[in-house]
Structure 1
Amino acid sequence: MSPDARRDAFNGDAYPYLRAATAGLRHHSRAQGAIDEPSASSRAHLDALHAHLTALHRLVDQAADRTRPERPAAGRHLATAHARLWQAADSVHAAFHLVPAAAEDEKCQPDRLPEGPPFLTICQRHLAAVHAIRRKTTAADLAS
């Protein structure tokens, strides 16, 4: 990495989309906390959270792959974070299927949706994450 690229990375200019996603999460967390009545998370909320976790899972996986050859200890820590993100995404996926479907989900007509019914999109995303985690992580690593 060139000195200019490192300087930009430290200034935060290298990752504008990641900063925007983090700001969006902060805003959503504040908005959720501002609601007076406690309510259970909806399937749409859990689906969006799962999408964010799996995207972050891929990002940490790429960072671990790039870091490991040059800095093995840091790469191991990133690999651990990669496994923990998978565990979080797996738990959110399980919670999604335990939340009852809303009335609009019951009226869903999959033939009108090019990506299939909404509940399948989270399962397809989760299946892709399963393949990624199984290539690089053992069952013992995930259980620890």
Structure 2
Amino acid sequence: MTSATPVSDAYPYLRAASTGIRHHTRARAPRAERPASPADRVHLDVLHAHLTSLHQLLDQLADTTRPPHPAAGRHLATAHTRLWQATTAVHDAFHLLPMADAAPTETECHPERLPEGPPVLTICQRHLAAGHVVRRKTTPADLNAPAPGHTTTCAQ
């Protein structure tokens, strides 16, 4: 069964985001002339923003899919939970990385004056906002449960 909307036209913003991720993955891949560099806070912050947006999309898809197709909706809800676990791991990794070495001087920017707060806090604000939604829809037992095995047969 195929969709009436061509895949190329269905979700242009999601396609663009996926293309961006592929681009950054290739850009960070080690090459002969450049060894792989470890993750830094900037990359993890951007990745966290993408994961929380994807988390919101999965939440919407699960809510709209569940009434007409309960089994598919449950799988999307499970993916929603697993994505939240990945988002939490990225948030935790962000805080384990060292902060930038250079302290701002008078001529540099002052992140404490930004309306959304210092950049180090934006990931926490985003995580707390997403966590509020997760706690309303997911039980702590579900969040801590191991991932179940794949239970459906893939059609070819």
Same-fold call, TM > 0.5?
Answer: yes
Cα deviation, residue 103, structure 1? 2.8
Distance in 1 between residues matched to 2:60 and 2:16, nearest whole Å: 19
C-alpha distance in 1 between matches for 2:100 and 2:83? 27
What displacement does 1:113 show? 1.8
What TM-score comes out, normalization by structure 2 length? 0.82
**Alpha-carbon distance, 1:19 to partner:** 0.5
Structure 1 segments (4+ residues) deviating >6 Å: none
Match of 2:28 in 1: 32
Structure 1 counterpart of 2:17: 21
Unaligned runs of 5+ in 2: 146-156
- Residue 7 (structure 1) aligns with: 4
Question: Counterpart of 1:7 in 2: which secondary structure?
Answer: coil
2:39 maps to amino acid:
S
**CA RMSD, Structure 1 to Structure 2 (Å):** 1.4
Matched, 1:123 2:120: no
d(CA) in 1 for partners of 2:14, 2:64: 18
The CA distance in 2 between the partners of 1:42 and 1:76, in whole Å, is 35
Q: Which of 64, 77, 89 is 1:91 aligned to?
A: 89
What's the counterpart of residue 73 of structure 2?
Answer: 75
TM-score if structure 1 supplies the norm length? 0.89
Please tell me whether the aligned partners of residues 28 and 36 of structure 2 are also in contact (alpha carbons under 8 angstroms).
no
Q: Is there any run of 5+ residues in structure 1 with no aligned partner, and where?
A: 1-5
More helix by share: 1
Structure-2 separation of matches of 1:111 and 1:28 = 29
Bigger Rg over Cα: 2
